[in-house]
A = this chain, B = another copy of it.
Amino acid sequence: MTLADQVLEGNIRAAARLMRDIDDGRPQAIEELKQLYPHTGNAFIIGITGPPGAGKSTLVDQLTASFRERGKKVGVVAIDPTSPFTGGAILGDRIRMNRHSCDEGVFIRSLATRGALGGLSRSTSDVALVMDALGMEIIIIETVGVGQDEVDIVKEAHTTCVVMVPGLGDDIQAIKAGILEIGDIFVVNKADRDGADRTARELSTMLDMRHAVEGSWSPQVMKTEAQRGTGISELTDELLAHRSYFLSSGTINAFLRERTQRHFMAILRDSLLKRALSFMAKNDSLDTLVTDMNDQRIDPYSAVEVILSRMIPDAADY
């Protein structure tokens, strides 16, 4: 019985094992993913993003509990800032949501922002794919969000929830402006803090100024106190409401097509680079090239052309 077969039967240990194999870049993992692919596309994927300190982890914890109460299996992919030296995730599964640790209906996975060969968005979609195949009905992707990486990750989600918090300083206005456009639902968390109402009002005003298309989804600003669980049930309802809109409005078709293409491109990018690396390793050419570049005998642009012309003989044709 393959790992993929076991995942499809709902075997959590097999899923965890497969995710490790993916992380380690084992070729066999790709074969397992190929087997899983036709069985995916059933989960409702929710993206949670916002600046550090907004209380996203606590909110995700509460949402997980809320979906569990409604009988749904929940997968969580938490993107943690990485230590660039140790390579591991800082927060880690370890300290995340201990209260769900005995619940077979919850699967939590932390991803470190390490980059390397596979980009973070690539890893995220692979992990989400495994969770989907495992039978998780809700998949929550949590990310600290301002960069392009985060925007790419959020594109994996059917519904994106942007979490803000009162009084995070001057740059926040700028972040808001960027993030307004990716949010389907906005949350002002820590709503008991000073300035919560103002932050919510400002957000609403900014959202109202956007050009609304007739019949399109109009994002609401919700208030929560994740620590106490206040506003969580309402947020869960709103998430499901957005899902219904998404499914009924036909928006989902273009979304799925775009996502497939992005997923394909990410795999293509990785595979190309991997091929080039093996090519250079086989020819022992990387070290020599780096030395030549360092001594300014060749510039990196020309060096790339050299490698490409050797690796893809008729490259000039396209």
Contact = CB atoms under 8 A, between A and B. Distances in A.
12 contacts: A33-B299, A37-B301, A38-B296, A53-B171, A53-B172, A81-B178, A84-B181, A144-B146, A168-B169, A260-B293, A264-B300, A272-B273
Interface string A172-189: 101101100110000000
A151 B260 CA distance: 28
Given A37-B300, A84-B181, 18 more contacts: A34-B301, A34-B302, A38-B296, A41-B296, A52-B52, A52-B175, A81-B147, A115-B148, A144-B147, A147-B149, A256-B294, A257-B294, A263-B300, A264-B293, A267-B304, A268-B308, A269-B269, A312-B312
Contact of A34 (B52, B80, B175, B299): B299
A30 interface: yes
A303 interface: yes
B113 A268 contact: no
Given A38-B299, A290-B257, A304 B169 contact: no
Interface stretch (A7-15, A65-73, A198-206, A274-282): A274-282
Interface residues of A, number: 84
A90 B53 contact: no
Interface of A: 30, 33-34, 37-38, 41, 51-55, 57, 80-85, 90-91, 113-115, 120, 144, 146-152, 165, 168-172, 174-175, 177-178, 181-182, 256-257, 260-261, 263-265, 267-269, 271-273, 275-276, 278-279, 281-282, 286, 289-290, 293-294, 296, 299-305, 307-308, 311-313, 315, 317-318
